[in-house]
């Protein structure tokens, strides 16, 4: 598996870059947003990027099924319970895309027996990408590739990332219990990547979320030495009915002094 994911990673990054080009072409226009059945926004960029990724994955790994956000919204999901499959969010942070703040990503993850074993996250508007698998984690900025490592979480003064659109009472209450912490709002799966590269420590979430929103970021963070765990302390796993995750805590390399 490690050699397999390492071999696949460059091709998946190239595929994500192709999706990026379509996303940024739409971003440069006066695009319109539409509402899906669940009232969440969707744009031509989501749909065009997903079509590119689906075609690319079918060519690269024809025997591995794909669960992708826009297909799932139409009720089109293969039976992948307990099997190896791809999880795709072609445009994570559509609200950030609509708001034109640059904090949106392309997420592609490979799941094996419930675990994210390869993750590619790219940030089209920022010119950044992150890759994670059993061989390690890396940050790409232009032609510069840097190995990254999550830093240990301090017992006081942790730097906490919170969602722009999902700061609820539970998160607010949890933050009050963290001694001397600082907070910053960040969109999409960038939160996982910032922790993975050692520029932040924690990302709490209590509300349920779709699996494709977290899988690639989790793969990157775990490859960098961090973790994503439920509030019961269990590793966040994939392929659940409905492809929904419970709340979780994404964290850096280690919790110091038993802090949780």
**pLDDT digit string, tens, across residues 234-246:** 999 999 989 999 9
Query: pLDDT at position 255, please?
Result: 61
CATH topology of domain 159-258: D-Maltodextrin-Binding Protein; domain 2 (3.40.190)
Q: From the CB of residue 185, how many other CB atoms can be counted at a distance below 10 Å?
A: 13
Residues of the chain with CATH 3.40.190.80: 159-258
Lowest mean pLDDT among 25-34, 40-49, 64-73, 163-172: 163-172
Q: From the CB of residue 30, how many other CB atoms can be counted at a distance below 10 Å?
A: 4
pTM of the model: 0.94
- Give the integer Cα–Cα distance in Å for 164 and 178: 19
79: pLDDT confidence band, cut at 50, 70 and 90?
Answer: confident
Mean per-residue pLDDT over the chain, rounded = 93
**What is the rounded average pLDDT of the residues 48-55?**
98
Architecture of domain 2-147: 2-Layer Sandwich (3.30)
- Give the integer Cα–Cα distance in Å for 247 and 132: 22
Residues of the chain with CATH 3.30.540.10: 2-147
Residue 169 scores a pLDDT above 70: yes
Query: pLDDT at position 63, please?
Result: 92
3: pLDDT confidence band, cut at 50, 70 and 90?
Answer: low
Residue 166 scores a pLDDT above 70: no
Length of the chain, in residues: 260
């Amino acid at each position: 598996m490690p050699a397999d994911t390492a071999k696949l990673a460059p091709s998946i990054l190239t595929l994500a870059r192709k999706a990026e080009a379509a996303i940024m072409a739409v971003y440069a226009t006066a695009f319109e947003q539409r509402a899906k059945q669940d009232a969440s926004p969707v744009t031509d960029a989501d749909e065009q990027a997903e079509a590119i990724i689906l075609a690319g994955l079918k060519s690269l790994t024809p025997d591995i099924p794909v669960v992708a956000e826009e297909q799932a919204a139409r009720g089109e999901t293969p039976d992948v319970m307990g099997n190896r499959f791809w999880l795709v969010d072609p445009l994570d942070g559509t609200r950030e895309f609509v708001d034109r703040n640059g904090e949106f990503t392309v997420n592609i993850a490979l799941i094996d027996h419930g675990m994210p074993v390869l993750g590619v996250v790219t940030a089209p508007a920022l010119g950044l990408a992150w890759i994670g698998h059993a061989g390690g984690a890396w940050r790409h900025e232009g032609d510069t590739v840097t190995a990254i490592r999550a830093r240990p979480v301090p017992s006081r003064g942790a730097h906490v990332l919170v969602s722009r659109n999902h700061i609820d009472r539970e998160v607010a209450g949890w933050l009050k219990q963290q001694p001397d912490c600082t907070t910053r709002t960040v969109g999409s799966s960038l939160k996982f990547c910032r922790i993975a590269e050692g520029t932040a420590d924690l990302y709490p979430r209590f509300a349920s979320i779709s699996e494709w929103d977290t899988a690639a970021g989790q793969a990157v963070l775990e490859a960098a030495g961090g973790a994503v765990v439920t509030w019961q302390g269990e590793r966040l796993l994939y392929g659940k009915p409905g492809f929904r995750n419970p709340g979780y805590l994404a964290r850096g390399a280690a919790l110091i002094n038993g802090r949780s």
